[in-house]
Structure 1
């Protein structure tokens, strides 16, 4: 079920084109300990985001990091979904050292900013339900329609981006931390070790905690989803669902809230074997929320493929 246009992988792009697109890599939109994110504009006017490792030389980049990087390109190149920040290409050069991935650009900030910062557009109940369905459809596609399945290693509200019309787009950012960790532990790394299979049930748990954050507007504590789940679990047990609703919301739909809360309860089950599949989750939510896959996706589709074919031809 993988779309043929991307099943063969994504193009290798050349440095000069990306340098020009990102204004000599001066157009920084975010910096993390393990990577830097640049905004770029291709010559056609299409906007891209370019993520570059913080590692600066080949000496600090062991074989295990290279393997991890290439495997990620391979797995992300198999994902082609309108609610995903799709991988468009990569750049791999040793002189000067460069490892970059090129993604679609979502212009409207992150879900976290819209939920928690006053200067961002407030999301009403209907907008939140559309975001929930967009994320659910995308995870269902990644878990069930791609073989082998792909799990998002680090899914949070600040790794979900908003399009112009407030559709959700999930980004996979876990790779850069993983690569940096492998570089640090290269000496004791045994590259023959088999890769862990994708952790689908943890992904479902993350989805459950994300739903709590979306309906409650409650900011999760850093790296501690458990305390938010414990807070929600008390209200879920007593079926006092309205106590979970964000006070800034003027109205909400009680039937939809009930369905979302039932899904949360199943997804955050401490016993990972008891958690539902994303196919079950999507079926249940769609029945209650009545939002089709088409309604949950962005209305505009960028025209980057033609442009990238030109770039990739120049790179080879």
Structure 2
């Protein structure tokens, strides 16, 4: 199946022939396998199941699971942490050609993101026996935004941290939407917003790639803008996106969206200090993002520009201060092949 946003199905293997430019990887001590080291020469690497099984403690270290699949936490030999997603297909008969096409399209699209506020794809695993379809990602150790907003035991996020998270999300989404072809997140919510050691954003896309035909008709970039507005409202109010009566956050905030209640009256009570002027300006951004008519919503580049004016937080300030290993330790030198 052809994805309307990601284009035709990818060619996963990249051949290096005489006369082509190639990347020479300088040696570095990260404890990665040779396959991972070759990732930046040949493209997204195909990894060995046994390698991932060892990293994930025999696949006993479960982060989350559903009827569709499981996400595991793993640790490489040098201590670098990874997240491994595995689809719940136990035999080839459970895995159609259509699903295989979507799986490979997912690899292609994720490998093209390459942004420091995104949980980047490091590799994939495909094996017949046992039947295996896995994706390997960076791991952000500080949990999800949802946990920090709604679970009492999680660490409190102050106003400045929330603004840095907001801008990091916006910069990453703008980058994704401006790629050719554009890439949009298809399940954007506060559980897909991961946080690094210094509480910078890492947008994750661990969601599995099973999509219906109807999903192709959705304008995902416009949906991303709407979802961004909902997450921003969630961050300001501290209210969960869905309550026990299944009302959406937008419905709960309908008085505010109609202009009948000041946003300051709905502020998260755990916020001990905040900037009133910023709050009012953020409220206007929220309203523009959740406009019912998708065609009237701003593009992410417009949202990003406005947030930068409001917060004075540029792209460099929004990314993790402690760079992930593959950004910090890997150096690629472009050379002419001999």
What range describes the TM-score normalised by the shorter chain of this pair?
0.7 to 0.9
TM-score after normalising by structure 1: 0.86
Asked if the contact 2:189–2:227 (Cα under 8 Å) also holds between the matched residues in 1, the reply is yes
Say if 1:282 and 1:308 are closer, same or farther in 2 by CA, change over 3 A. closer
Change in Cα spacing, 1:28 to 1:211, as seen in structure 2 (3 Å) is: same
Q: Secondary structure at the match of 1:141?
A: helix
Counterpart pick for 2:200 among 148, 167, 178: 167
Q: Distance in 2 between matches of 1:308 and 1:224?
A: 49
Specify the alignment match of 1:27 in structure 2. Answer: 61
The structure-2 alpha-carbon separation of the partners of 1:85 and 1:142, relative to structure 1 and needing over 3 Å to count, comes to: same
Report the CA distance shift for 1:122/1:86 in structure 2 as closer, same or farther (over 3 A): same
Aligned residues: CA RMSD = 2.7
Q: 1:284 aligns with which of 283, 286, 306?
A: 306
Count residues with an aligned counterpart.
Answer: 293
Query: How many angstroms does 1:225 deviate by?
Result: 8.9
What is the CA–CA distance in structure 1 between the aligned matches of 2:308 and 2:287, rounded to whole Å?
A: 17
Partner of 2:130: 96
For 1:235, what is the secondary structure of its paired residue?
Answer: helix
Is the CA contact 1:154–1:173 (under 8 Å) kept in the aligned structure 2? no
Quick one: which of 199, 206, 212 aligns to 2:220?
A: 199
Correspondence list, 1:39-188, <5 A:
39-144=73-178, 146-174=179-207, 176=208, 178-179=209-210
Uncovered stretches (5+) of structure 1, i.e. residues with no partner: 183-188, 310-316
Q: Secondary structure at the match of 1:153?
A: coil
In structure 2, do the counterparts of structure 1 residues 226 and 37 end up closer, same or farther at CA, with 3 Å as the change threshold? same
Deviation by residue 1:261-291 (Cα, 9 ceiling, x = unmatched): 1111000000000000000001111101011
Q: Determine which structure has the larger helix proportion and give its number.
A: 1
Asked if the contact 1:76/1:87 (under 8 Å) is kept, the reply is yes
Task: State the partner residue of 2:252.
Answer: 231
Say which SS state the counterpart of residue 40 (structure 1) adopts: strand
- Which one of the candidate residues 271, 292, 299 is aligned to 2:293? 271
Which residue does the alignment assign to 1:260? 282
TM-score norm. by structure 2 comes to: 0.80
For the residue of structure 1 that corresponds to 2:54, the secondary structure is helix
Counterpart-to-counterpart distance in 2, 1:17 and 1:117: 34
State the distance in 2 between where 1:10 and 1:72 align.
12
Q: Does 1:246 align with 2:268?
A: yes
